[in-house]
A and B are shown apart, each in its own frame.
Chain A
Amino acid sequence: MQHQSQPMPDPDSDDTNVAVRVDRISKIFQGNEDEVRALDEVSVSIRRNEFFTLLGPSGCGKTTLLRVIAGFEPPTMGALYLGGRDISRLPPNQRPVNTVFQNYALFPHMSVANNIAFGLEMLGKSKGEIQTTVYDMLKLVQMEHLKARRTSEISGGQQQRVALARALAPQPEVLLLDEPLSALDLKLRRDMQIELKRLQHETGITFIFVTHDQEEALTMSDRIAVMSAGKILQVGTPREIYERPAERFVANFIGESNFLDAALSGGAVRLKAGGPAFAATPPKGVADGEVSILVRPEHGRVRMGAATEGELPATISNVVYSGEATTVHLRLATGETFKAKMSNTPAEDGGSMVQGAEAALSIAPGAVTVLKD
């Protein structure tokens, strides 16, 4: 994770690698008296064949961004490029982009096969070509046996597959998926996550996937964009987003976090609560002085007894046992709290911690992330 250390050529500056480029797009909805800024100067480049996820809390603008890319909402400002071509003004039926809708939106008056054929028919493909493609798609989503059924006569998971097949059949350059799994139960959801990854791999189509489930985002994505209040806060691989969040919101939204006060000077941070100095690379624009740092709970190690050199003195305020792991809540010398997640292995033995006891906290080197705010 030696980010920003050596200048790499930015892969997104080269349009041959970029499937979709969103260039300073804003979308303002006019309300009765107020206006809602659903997208606020969003810029992002989504690469070819990428599984790209938009992640963020409800109302942050994920659906709006998808609808702008699909062409259902004209952006108030900004431009949209598909493979280098400006498509901002194209109507949705002329964009080589297809959508899997959250409620699937299958045509209830058509059979499964006719649903899948619809896009191909509209593109004016020949009968023979439509037939083979529909057959291939049915096979791809394992629905051959139900091709003649009405879409109201199949289960939710099967409808999901038909919606995928219908959107993939015209071979779009980009597939947009708006929380396609949220209506499924947990087990089906797990299966479909694997299925989606397989489909993306087999078709080589760029997927833009919306979810507000952080675990889903981490396990499925090549890259994630974390959004909040109409802005993209950070774009990165799941590891970058989890291990090196740029700001407090991102850290908080993904996984459990400990935020501590520290002082930064010359590439080293020293916690107010004591302990050794840690080497850290601050994000751009963070000057020496008081900073906030992030430590993930699994990077803290607790030992019963008095703190020695390189450890932080603490008291155990709570112990929460959860099977494979134990979360130890600590109170540090500064009054700050720290949650340490210890695995219940013989080596760490998280289960042996005693509430109210004196303890020593050690933080793994390299586990300290300096935040922007």
Chain B
Amino acid sequence: MSDTVPPRHPARGYSVRSLPGFSIVALFTVATLYAPILILVAYSFNSGTSLAVWEGFSLRWYVQAAQNGEVIDAAIRSLYLALTAAGIATVAATMAALATTRTRRFPGKTMIYALINQPLMVPEIVTAVALLIVFAWIKVATGYTSMIYLIAAHTAFCIPFAYLPIRARLETMDNTLETAARDLYAPPMKVFLRVTLPQIWPGIIAGMMLAFVISMDDVVITEFVKSAGQDTIPTYMLGQLRRVVTPEVNAISTVILAAGAILVSLFFWISRERR
């Protein structure tokens, strides 16, 4: 007894903080993650046209971006695309999650998991080329060009991102609740609406937000699938980089960053309220 040293964190027993170099690794990681973003945000307020030389504080690039018709146009298109794709993907993902967690074992269930998660496993560039070819055929055959192609493509790769949190939620939910609802005379649709849905909705919101962010962020597939004049914010910015680069790009990025931060905080706040 006398020679045992009481651990520093008796409740946990073991803490990785005692590993050598822990603090340095942690600091380095945080710095690589956030320093570039901080610089980007800082230079969005630069009054000069350079991304490297600080000339003073100004909001001129925000004003310029807000008055740039192409930026507004791309922003609206991005939002429209992300909302539509995330919405459809979430509905599909919810149905897929129910079908894979609320059924008896059936042959091919593992295959279905793989199919749903296909966009996570196939390299994006491969999907992009494949879609380019298929959509080119359809466009030639029908002469029809619209947002439908982008919506279809985005919906497809959004599904696994919406699916995973919804499935996780369904798997942790006590499914005797649904059995109990059935027992208390609820027909299948009522069971879903009155019991399952209220239980899994934080998962659904999380899935939808993930899908939304993934769609907003996408470059590769969008670049291959879009028709002329269908730039989204990311493809517009990519196009800008090939020409003159001004802190306008920083300003747009900062706005996206802020919107993302608000969205995520909102989500945590909503799910905290309910727990």
Q: Which residues of A contact B (CB under 8 A)?
A: 70, 72, 91-94, 97-99, 101, 103, 105-109, 118-119, 122-123, 166-167, 170
Residue pair A92, B183 in contact (C-beta under 8 Å): yes
User: At the interface, yes or no: B42 with Cβ under 8 Å from chain A?
Assistant: no
**Which candidate, B51-59, B158-166, B184-192, is the interface stretch facing chain A?**
B184-192
Q: Which residues of B contact A (CB under 8 A)?
A: 174, 176-177, 179-187, 190, 194-195, 198-199
Q: A72-B179, A101-B179, A103-B176 are in contact. Are A109 and B184 (CB under 8 A)?
A: no
- B181: which A residues are within 8 A, CB to CB? 107, 118, 122
Please give the distance in Å from B191's CB to the nearest CB on chain A: 8
Nearest 3 A-B pairs (CB), nearest first? A119-B184, A122-B185, A105-B180
- B186: which A residues are within 8 A, CB to CB? 93, 118, 122
Q: Which residue of B lies closest to A124 (CB)?
A: B185
Distance between Cα atoms of A109 and B174 in the complex (Å)? 13
Distance between Cα atoms of A94 and B182 in the complex (Å)? 9
User: Can you list 25 A-B pairs, Cβ within 8 angstroms, ordered by A?
Assistant: A91-B182, A93-B185, A93-B186, A97-B183, A98-B184, A101-B176, A101-B180, A103-B174, A105-B174, A105-B176, A105-B179, A107-B177, A107-B180, A107-B181, A108-B177, A109-B199, A118-B184, A118-B186, A122-B181, A122-B184, A122-B187, A122-B190, A123-B185, A170-B184, A170-B185
Q: Besides A98-B184, A166-B184, 4 other CB < 8 A contacts?
A: A101-B176, A118-B181, A118-B194, A123-B185
Distance between Cα atoms of A12 and B117 in the complex (Å)? 57
Please give the distance in Å from B59's CB to the nearest CB on chain A: 46
Distance between Cα atoms of A203 and B177 in the complex (Å)? 25
- A93: which B residues are within 8 A, CB to CB? 182-187
Q: What is the total of A-B residue contacts with beta carbons within 8 Å?
A: 57
Distance between Cα atoms of A197 and B195 in the complex (Å)? 31
Residue pair B182, A105 in contact (C-beta under 8 Å): no
Residue pair B195, A107 in contact (C-beta under 8 Å): yes
Q: Which residue of B lies closest to A70 (CB)?
A: B183
Q: Which residue of B lies closest to A91 (CB)?
A: B182
Distance between Cα atoms of A106 and B179 in the complex (Å)? 11
Please give the distance in Å from A204's CB to the nearest CB on chain B: 20
Distance between Cα atoms of A119 and B182 in the complex (Å)? 9
Please give the distance in Å from B1's CB to the nearest CB on chain A: 35
One of B174, B183, B190, B194 near A99 (C-beta < 8 A): B183
One of B183, B187, B190, B199 near A98 (C-beta < 8 A): B183
- A119: which B residues are within 8 A, CB to CB? 184-185
Distance between Cα atoms of A364 and B130 in the complex (Å)? 90
Distance between Cα atoms of A106 and B174 in the complex (Å)? 10
- B177: which A residues are within 8 A, CB to CB? 105, 107-108
Distance between Cα atoms of A101 and B183 in the complex (Å)? 10
- B195: which A residues are within 8 A, CB to CB? 107
Residue pair A99, B185 in contact (C-beta under 8 Å): no
- B180: which A residues are within 8 A, CB to CB? 99, 101, 105-107
- B179: which A residues are within 8 A, CB to CB? 72, 92, 101, 105
- A107: which B residues are within 8 A, CB to CB? 177, 180-181, 195
Please give the distance in Å from B154's CB to the nearest CB on chain A: 32
Distance between Cα atoms of A99 and B184 in the complex (Å)? 8
- A92: which B residues are within 8 A, CB to CB? 179, 182-183
Please give the distance in Å from A122's CB to the nearest CB on chain B: 4
Distance between Cα atoms of A103 and B179 in the complex (Å)? 12
- B183: which A residues are within 8 A, CB to CB? 70, 72, 92-93, 97-99, 167
Distance between Cα atoms of A92 and B176 in the complex (Å)? 13
Q: Which residue of A lies closest to B182 (CB)?
A: A92
- A123: which B residues are within 8 A, CB to CB? 185
Q: Which residue of A lies closest to B177 (CB)?
A: A105
Distance between Cα atoms of A92 and B183 in the complex (Å)? 5
Distance between Cα atoms of A122 and B189 in the complex (Å)? 12
Distance between Cα atoms of A191 and B187 in the complex (Å)? 35
Q: Which residue of A lies closest to B173 (CB)?
A: A108
Distance between Cα atoms of A109 and B193 in the complex (Å)? 13
- A70: which B residues are within 8 A, CB to CB? 183
Residue pair A109, B198 in contact (C-beta under 8 Å): yes
- B187: which A residues are within 8 A, CB to CB? 93, 122
Distance between Cα atoms of A91 and B143 in the complex (Å)? 51
Please give the distance in Å from A91's CB to the nearest CB on chain B: 8
- A167: which B residues are within 8 A, CB to CB? 183-184
Residue pair B182, A72 in contact (C-beta under 8 Å): yes
Distance between Cα atoms of A15 and B195 in the complex (Å)? 37
Q: Name the residue in B176, B185, B195 with the highest tally of chain A Cβ atoms < 10 Å from its Cβ.
A: B185
Please give the distance in Å from B71's CB to the nearest CB on chain A: 43
Please give the distance in Å from A84's CB to the nearest CB on chain B: 21
Distance between Cα atoms of A49 and B215 in the complex (Å)? 61
- B174: which A residues are within 8 A, CB to CB? 103, 105
Q: Which residue of B lies closest to A97 (CB)?
A: B183
- A106: which B residues are within 8 A, CB to CB? 180
Distance between Cα atoms of A105 and B182 in the complex (Å)? 12
- B198: which A residues are within 8 A, CB to CB? 109
Please give the distance in Å from B266's CB to the nearest CB on chain A: 21
Distance between Cα atoms of A20 and B81 in the complex (Å)? 58
Please give the distance in Å from B47's CB to the nearest CB on chain A: 53
Q: Which residue of B lies closest to A95 (CB)?
A: B183
Please give the distance in Å from B193's CB to the nearest CB on chain A: 12
- B190: which A residues are within 8 A, CB to CB? 122
Q: Which residue of A lies closest to B274 (CB)?
A: A109
- B182: which A residues are within 8 A, CB to CB? 72, 91-93
Distance between Cα atoms of A123 and B183 in the complex (Å)? 11
Q: Name the residue in B176, B180, B195 with the highest tally of chain A Cβ atoms < 10 Å from its Cβ.
A: B180
- A122: which B residues are within 8 A, CB to CB? 181, 184-187, 190
Please give the distance in Å from B172's CB to the nearest CB on chain A: 12
- B176: which A residues are within 8 A, CB to CB? 101, 103, 105
Please give the distance in Å from A15's CB to the nearest CB on chain B: 25
Please give the distance in Å from A115's CB to the nearest CB on chain B: 9
Distance between Cα atoms of A120 and B174 in the complex (Å)? 23
Distance between Cα atoms of A109 and B194 in the complex (Å)? 10
